[in-house]
Amino acid sequence: EDLLVEEAARARERSRHKSEFLAVMSHEIRTPMNGIIGAAGLLMDRELDPGDAGYVRIIHESGEHLLQLINDILDFSRLDASRIELEQVPFALHDTIESAVGLIGPTARAKGLSLSVSVTDDVPQRVVGDPGRLRQILFNLVGNAIKFTKRGSVRVEASCIEQSAAGIRIALAVTDTGIGIPPEALPKLFHEFSQVDGSISRQFGGSGLGLAICRRLVERMGGTITVASTPGEGSTFRFDVLLKHAAPDMAADPSAPARSASRRLRILLAEDNGTNRLVVSRMLERMGHRVDLAEDG
Ligand code: ADP
């Protein structure tokens, strides 16, 4: 028995080391990825002959795709190693839900799908929690709904389950009229690297990590995620999260971007990676800012 306990502890330790290794590696991989995507983005704004423009677009799109995969792996391994701290900041809940869905609006429109959001009046506007992670969960679920729906609609609904001293429990549902999921695939859906149909996933792309990340994030927010689906008719993903009350004097989302994007600034850029220094300073200069460079803080 003692040996078993010891072995189990060692296995857990090994698994934690592996997740940590992945988290560190993924971070290292993102630096050159930023160089590739950034430089390709700068080239795309130049007058290129149509053939070259096509190649540059391929580099840019492939880079974006690879970066998305790397971000998923990074997120997943950090969640697995419990290295992600959720934020506790005041934010505007209605706006966060609408902006997350709005980001994917163009993709839905391009496929001819109707995309709607409804938030009931009992959902408070100002709450405390992690708006970025909430956006990420919604973005993932709505992205999947659009990905696996050929015609019809994708609907997002939010309502309040309860308000108590402990906080505000919000229920969210994403419903689509897509291909649906066969019953035998449902139990494994929220496990990592799970894809229902390899051929469909190859057609649509994806890491099979999205839902595993969603489940972990939802659980970290004190909720659960479930799915109900009928093949050929569609799916509904439901989850709930526990948010905190915002104190009356709390300012709105401090992480919201400043709206003075058109102001010309003088910017000190401290970055040790030479490629990133070049790419970022070109981008900032093109926005009309003046940039001073330093290699470190
Ligand atoms: P991926 O990045 O491969 O989409 P996910 O974890 O987000 O990974 O999804 C896992 C699998 O679950 C998908 O490959 C797909 O087979 C299935 N799936 C997820 N959402 C839907 C949906 N709305 N309708 C049908 N199938 C879905």
Closest CA relative to residue 16, chosen from 94, 101, 80: 80
Residue to substitute in 148, 176, 192 for testing ligand 1 pocket (most ligand atoms within 8 angstroms of CB): 148
Ligand 1 and 26: CB distance under 6 A: no
> Given this model, what pLDDT does residue 252 score?
53
Q: How many CA atoms lie within 13 A of 145 on its CB side?
A: 32
Q: Is the dihedral of CA 51, 54, 55, 56 positive or negative?
A: positive
Alpha helices in 49-147 (DSSP H): 50-80, 93-103, 105-110, 131-147
Ligand 1 and 206: CB distance under 6 A: yes
pTM score, whole prediction: 0.78
> Given this model, what pLDDT does residue 36 score?
92
> Given this model, what pLDDT does residue 73 score?
82
Beta strands in the chain (DSSP E): 89-92, 114-119, 126-129, 153-164, 167-176, 225-230, 234-245, 266-270, 290-294
User: Mapping DSSP to helix (H, G, I), strand (E, B) and coil, where does residue 40 land?
Assistant: helix
Determine the Cα–Cα distance for residues 282 and 288; give it in Å rounded to an integer: 10
Those residues with Cβ within 8 angstroms of residue 38's Cβ, 6 or more apart along the chain or in another chain: 276, 279, 280, 283
Residue to substitute in 199, 211, 237 for testing ligand 1 pocket (most ligand atoms within 8 angstroms of CB): 211
pLDDT, averaged per 10 consecutive residues of the chain (297 residues), comes to: 94 85 80 90 90 93 87 81 84 93 91 96 94 94 95 97 93 97 89 63 66 94 96 97 85 51 87 89 91 93
> Given this model, what pLDDT does residue 204 score?
55
> Given this model, what pLDDT does residue 188 score?
86
Determine the Cα–Cα distance for residues 174 and 156; give it in Å rounded to an integer: 5
Closest CA relative to residue 37, chosen from 274, 269, 276: 276
Ligand 1 and 207: CB distance under 6 A: yes
User: Mapping DSSP to helix (H, G, I), strand (E, B) and coil, where does residue 244 land?
Assistant: strand
Q: Rounded to the nearest whole angstrom, what is the distance from the C-alpha of residue 131 to the centroid of ligand 1?
A: 23
Determine the Cα–Cα distance for residues 292 and 277; give it in Å rounded to an integer: 10
Residue type present at position 183: P
Q: Rounded to the nearest whole angstrom, what is the distance from the C-alpha of residue 280 to the centroid of ligand 1?
A: 35
Determine the Cα–Cα distance for residues 162 and 173; give it in Å rounded to an integer: 16
